[in-house]
């Protein structure tokens, strides 16, 4: 073979282009990221959603509807979170946490812009705010249209107490062999309620107890019932003519549970706070509970007893308020005990288990379904 042939062969060999070499040098040895199966599935799902949206938009335009106009014939489907289709539990959990974080950031940014613009915050709805309207609700008791309510309050069983014509005297009693938790609950009631005393009624009927209490000039009787060695019920009888209210006791916390001492509860007469008793029945129950305490509190003791009604549950709290050195700020310190009352029935007159006339009684929801937004107090 001649030298000219060899030169021609060398000249015909392709030489690498300088542009590719430069790109390799710039990019280095980085390889493109390999797609996973889940990425292909996500792309396919997004493509299907976009095609479906285009098809629906095409159908709406054929009917002559605008893009933002509602179609009464169009069927709406529930929005399904695409995270639910991820089968790997760890990946699904991570994506869900990431989605929650983005939602929190959006809410925080929206709250910040709303605060800068001076707009009011969006009201949060609860069962209490969405309660059904009651015909007996009293919004302003001092209004001109509340003459009937004022007349009933001026002539009810507690009018003499609120006229300050007598001082309340309370009898607290329980059965013959109470558990020590029940005795402790009764002793705490005696410490909190001024001019109260505890008695064992043994096996005496309540009718005879009421007669003897009226003879001894007691104004109210508190009967503590127990179940499974715990205080379960509270019967409040107003003397001498009634009414009688039966409560269920729950979530009882004594001083030991709250890490408090008996010496923290002084003998001063406490202030009584009745909160959120809005209906006619609620006013009766509130006045009945307020009549247990003396109408002239001793402010030197700085004790406050609160009956707070929320969704027909009456929360009892006992606090001691303390002022700072300047006398401007107030701190609350809970003394205990703590429990919750639920009204079961309200009986006219004194207690009568057989022939009593009930003004109100709670219904069993298993037999008569009631709305969760209906409250009676």
Q: How many domains does the chain have?
A: 1
User: pLDDT tens digit string along 117-138?
Assistant: 888 877 778 877 788 888 888 8
Provide the CB-side half-sphere exposure for 272 (13 A, CA): 17
Residue 140, in any domain of the structure? no
Residue 248 scores a pLDDT above 80: yes
Mean pLDDT of the chain: 82
- Whole-structure pTM over 0.75, yes or no? no
Cβ pair 272, 237 in contact under 8 A: no
Rounded CA-CA distance 72/106 in Å is 32
Predicted confidence band of residue 273 (pLDDT cuts 50, 70, 90): very high
Residue 141, in any domain of the structure? no
Residue 339 scores a pLDDT above 90: yes
* Mean pLDDT calculated for residue range 282-296: 91
Cα-only R_g, the chain: 37
Burial of 6 (0-12, 13-18, 19+ CB in 10 A): exposed
Predicted confidence at residue 8, as pLDDT, reads 42
Residue 144, in any domain of the structure? no
Predicted confidence band of residue 28 (pLDDT cuts 50, 70, 90): low
Residue 48, in any domain of the structure? no
Residue 162 sits in a domain whose CATH number is 3.40.50.10480
* Mean pLDDT calculated for residue range 26-47: 73
Rounded CA-CA distance 149/153 in Å is 6
Residue 339, in any domain of the structure? yes
Residue 124, in any domain of the structure? no
> Other CB atoms closer than 10 Å to residue 360's CB: what's the count?
17
Residue 172, SS3 per DSSP: strand
Residue 227, in any domain of the structure? yes
Residue 5 scores a pLDDT above 70: no
- Tell me what percent of the residues of the chain surpass a pLDDT of 90: 24
Residue 217, in any domain of the structure? yes
Residue 146 scores a pLDDT above 60: yes
Predicted confidence at residue 368, as pLDDT, reads 52
Predicted confidence band of residue 326 (pLDDT cuts 50, 70, 90): confident
Quote the DSSP letter at residue 129.
T
Omega before residue 243 within 30° of 0, cis? yes
Query: Which of 67-81, 154-168, 348-362 has the lowest average pLDDT?
Result: 67-81
List, in sequence order, every residue forming a beta bridge with 303; answer none if it has no partner. Answer: 320
Which is more confidently placed, 11 or 172?
A: 172
* Mean pLDDT calculated for residue range 235-254: 90
User: pLDDT tens digit string along 68-93?
Assistant: 777 777 666 677 777 888 888 898 89
The domain in which residue 184 lies consists of 149-361
């Amino acid at each position: 073979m001649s030298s000219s042939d060899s030169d021609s062969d060398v000249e015909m060999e392709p030489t690498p282009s300088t542009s590719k070499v430069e790109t390799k040098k710039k990019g280095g040895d980085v390889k493109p990221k390999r797609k996973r199966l889940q990425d292909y599935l996500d792309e396919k799902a997004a493509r299907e959603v976009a095609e479906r949206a285009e098809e629906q938009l095409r159908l709406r335009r054929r009917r002559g509807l605008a893009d933002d106009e509602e179609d009464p014939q169009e069927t709406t489907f529930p929005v399904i979170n695409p995270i639910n289709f991820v089968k790997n539990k760890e990946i699904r959990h991570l994506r869900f946490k990431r989605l929650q974080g983005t939602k929190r950031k959006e809410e925080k940014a929206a709250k910040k812009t709303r605060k800068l613009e001076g707009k009011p915050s969006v009201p949060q709805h609860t069962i209490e705010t969405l309660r059904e309207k009651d015909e007996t609700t009293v919004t302003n008791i001092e209004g001109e249209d509340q003459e009937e309510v004022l007349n009933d309050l001026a002539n009810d069983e507690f009018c003499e107490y609120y006229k300050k014509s007598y001082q309340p005297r309370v009898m607290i009693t329980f059965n013959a062999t109470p558990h020590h938790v029940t005795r402790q609950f009764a002793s705490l009631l005696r410490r909190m309620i001024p001019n109260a005393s505890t008695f064992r009624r043994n096996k005496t009927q309540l009718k005879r107890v009421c007669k003897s209490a009226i003879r001894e000039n007691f104004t109210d009787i508190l009967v503590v019932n127990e179940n499974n060695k715990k205080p379960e019920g509270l019967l409040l009888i107003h003397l001498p003519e009634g009414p009688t209210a039966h409560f269920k006791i729950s979530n009882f916390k004594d001083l030991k549970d709250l890490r408090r001492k008996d010496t923290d509860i002084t003998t001063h007469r406490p202030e009584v706070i009745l909160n959120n008793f809005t209906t006619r029945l609620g006013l009766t129950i509130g006045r009945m509970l307020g009549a247990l305490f003396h109408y002239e509190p001793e402010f030197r003791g700085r004790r406050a007893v609160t009956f707070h009604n929320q969704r027909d549950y009456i929360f009892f709290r006992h606090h001691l308020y303390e002022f700072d050195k300047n006398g401007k700020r107030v701190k609350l310190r809970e003394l205990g005990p703590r429990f919750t009352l639920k009204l079961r029935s309200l009986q006219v007159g004194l207690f009568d288990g057989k022939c009593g006339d009930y003004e109100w009684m709670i219904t069993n929801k298993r037999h008569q379904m009631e709305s969760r937004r209906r409250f009676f107090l």
